[in-house]
Amino acid sequence: MAARTMQAARCPTDELSLTNCAVVSEKDLQSGQHVTVKTTPNHKFVFTVKTHHTVSPGSIAFSLPQRKWAGLSIGQEVEVANYNFDKSKQCIGAMTIEIDFLQKKSTDSSPYDSDKMAAEFIQQFNNQAFSVTQQLVFSFCDKLFGLMVKDIEAMDASILRGETASGKKQKIDIGLMVGNSQVIFEKAESSSLTLVGKAKTKEARQTIINPEWNFEKMGIGGLDKEFSSIFRRAFASRVFPPDIVEQMGCKHVKGIMLFGPPGCGKTLMARQIGKMLNAREPKVVNGPEILNKYVGESEANIRKLFADAEEEQKRLGANSGLHIIIFDELDAICKQRGTGASSTGVHDTVVNQLLSKIDGVEQLNNILVIGMTNRPDLIDDALMRPGRFEVKMEISLPDEKGRVQILTIHTNKMRSFNLLAPDVEIKELAAETKNYSGAELEGLVRAAQSTAMNRHIKATSTVEVDMERAEKLQVTRSDFMGSLNNDIKPAFGTNQEDYSNYIMNGIIKWGDPVTHVLDDGELLIQQTKNSDRTPLVAVLLEGPPHCGKTALAAKIAEDSQFPFIKICSPDKMIGYSEIAKCQAIKKVFDDACKSQLSCVVVDDIERLLDYVPIGPRFSNLVLQALLVLLKRAPPKGRKLLIIGTTSRKDVLQEMEMLDAFSTTIHIPNISTGEQLVDALELLGSFTDKERANIAHQLKGKRVWIGIKKLLVLIEMSLQMDQEYRVTKFLSLLRDEGADRSFYE
């Protein structure tokens, strides 16, 4: 037919509106023909036509979606001409259609089978013309859907010839629907429609983890392994295609608990998580902010946090985005229920509210709650079960590689502006900063910077900066080393002042017994470091009072060079109740478990136990705590050396405490005159002549005195005039022996 002018009209019936055909009179055209409708000189649209007796000749009727798509108005004159499809090039191979409910009020959350939908579509619209961007209405399961053609691929010509597919894909603007065309449905953006089956697009899901994230750029170092583990557990199911997750019956992880020592990066991770994830902005809540003085307000604050997620889940169902809620200092609001001293029980109801929101009867599937605490022991058990805070991850002290990363992050800016001296070696600093947390490493860099700045401040009556020299400011290795030795000490490290006080006078090797003890100590250190079978090594140094047990224990601890060394001493627990003493001892052992290699010296065990022979009296509570802690193996991958000291081996034997130690080493007193003279020579307190006199007096005699007591007697004698010093020393030695039958 030659092109002719026709008038646009309204579609006569609703049934015809659903056919996607333009409707004409039988006198003008035949059903099944394809025509082009030219609305303006530059706009042409292709339609398939149907005939109906109610349409007057010279009119062409369109449904509302068709008029909308082609920009037609009723009564508009259009140019209509025949259109013939080139079946070798214009048959539809695959067509992608965007689908949504036609009317928003008729939405429902029941799933629609896309495979059945596709079969129905091909049946309804077989042999019809379709164009990209075309809009139409589709009836399926008594529901009306609004469709829009997004994309059309031509069928491979080799398939039409009955050959195997060549694999070439060609996009076309207009195509003809045939029986073996493939129809793929894609849910419209923000639609609440749920599609199941294979004839739907793999939704272009926004990947949850930002592809450009990098811990070093974000200022998080040394935690790569922990965060990979978190993302593996918490985000894998959310990144995976939802069809497969649905088929597996897999539920998403809803909660992650991060715990570990202070300053190791838990809160820093919370600050950066928004940049790391492509989800909506996380809600960061400080635990104490939840609590409110008014009744019911604390619980309402918890409900408000989850309100957005609940509303979106009701509206969009499975297509809801991920809502992240981060609780910092979770232990402030989620303490064990029933332990609160207050009569109101606010903490308990807050915990109950949080439990029901995360995984209650009306559970949400579009949330991820991240809790952070350095006191996981305080958190209510019900929160820690799978389904709530399921992933528990310890953010522990960084290892050497992690410390290199952290120091690099904090010195990057200085390096880029040439303010870091070439002699600063990050690897050397990382090796020196064992047991430093991330916050302490940052503090170390700050301390070094302030030391460097201080050099350029003029010490005049006013504080002035020497501008000439300030421009050449550089932070040097000596600044870092000075800060390392004087300013920043690790909370979980070795307190050198602690053990250096015990070996103030050095170790006096007055004979073989002392050498043997130190050799055995070296063996125990090597065993702790190297043996995988014995991660816990406990040794008891026992001997008479004043024989130098504590000094030897401190020396062995110092020689170990372990990153964590703590002395658990009775002098730090004066006035403690039994329970407080147990908690203090437990804290030392708990802290030791946070380091890779640790040494704990339990000094003067009988004093810790409050033992006195009159009665006899001792603290059973502390005894039981020590028995448990001495036998408790450290966590996997951690090693612990325990050195105990006691003057009452017989008492520990009765208390069945000796069994808790792997081995017992006896520390003897000085027992012969020769050993005593050797000790005097090493101490260098008396002159050669005086020592010869003392040696003559003690020749062939047995003595029994501890090295510590000997030091006191020597220092006392040295206060006398020169000619009386030896006499006074021998007299004191004799008195010591007379009192205790030590001197023969």
Give domain limits for the chain.
4-82, 92-196, 215-394, 400-487, 496-660, 670-736
Mean pLDDT per 10-residue interval, the chain, length 744 residues: 80 84 85 84 84 86 85 85 81 85 75 82 84 85 84 73 62 82 80 71 53 60 74 73 73 85 78 66 80 81 86 72 83 74 64 80 78 84 83 83 87 86 88 84 89 76 68 83 81 64 76 89 91 91 90 89 87 90 92 87 91 87 93 89 93 90 90 83 81 81 82 86 83 66 40
The catalytically annotated residue of 50, 603, 645, 649 is 603
Tell me which residue has tokens 């001792």.
618
pLDDT confidence of residue 538:
94
Give the integer Cα–Cα distance in Å for 433 and 563: 9
519 is catalytic: no
The answer to pTM > 0.75 is no
348 is catalytic: no
From the list 57, 62, 59, the residue with the least C-alpha distance to 47 is 62
**Where does 92-196 sit in CATH, by number?**
3.10.330.10
Task: From the candidates 433, 494, 550, 646, give the one annotated as an active-site residue.
Answer: 550
Please, which residues bridge with residue 284 across strands?
326
550 is catalytic: yes
How far, in Å, CA of 497 to CA of 402, rounded? 27
Catalytic residue, from 50, 549, 639, 709: name it.
Answer: 549
DSSP assignments along 76-136, one per residue = -EEEEEE----TTT-BEEEEEEEEEESSGGG---SEEEHHHHHHHHHHHHTT-EEETT-EE
Active-site residue 86, yes or no? no
Q: Residue 616: is the preceding peptide bond cis (ω within 30°)?
A: yes
Q: What confidence score (pLDDT) does residue 114 get? A: 82
Q: Does domain 215-394 have CATH number 3.40.50.300?
A: yes
Across 647-706, the runs of DSSP E, i.e. the strands, are: 663-666, 670-672, 702-705
No. of H helices and E strands in the chain? Answer: 28, 28
- Tell me which of 631, 687, 701, 727 is the catalytic residue: 631
* Whole-number Å distance between alpha carbons of 51 and 61: 10
Task: Tell me which residue of 14, 36, 27 sits closest to 139, measured CA to CA.
Answer: 14
CATH of 496-660, one of 3.10.180.10, 1.10.10.10, 3.40.50.620, 3.40.50.300: 3.40.50.300
- Set 509, 529, 586, 708: catalytic member: 708
| C-alpha distances in Å from residue 300, one per residue of 32, 283, 308, 453 | 63, 16, 14, 51
What strands, in cross-sheet order, belong to the sheet with 391-394? 283-286, 323-328, 367-373, 255-259, 391-394
Q: Which of 604, 639, 645, 709 is catalytic?
A: 604
Output the pLDDT for position 741: 39
Per CATH, the architecture of 400-487 is what?
Answer: Orthogonal Bundle (1.10)
The per-residue pLDDT for 107 is 74
CATH topology of domain 4-82: Barwin-like endoglucanases (2.40.40)
Active site residue 708: yes
Domains 215-394 and 670-736 share a fold: no
Q: What is the 3-state secondary structure (H, E, C) of 212-248?
A: CCCHHHHCCCCCHHHHHHHHHHHCHHHHCCHHHHHHH
Fold designation for 670-736: Helicase, Ruva Protein; domain 3 (1.10.8)
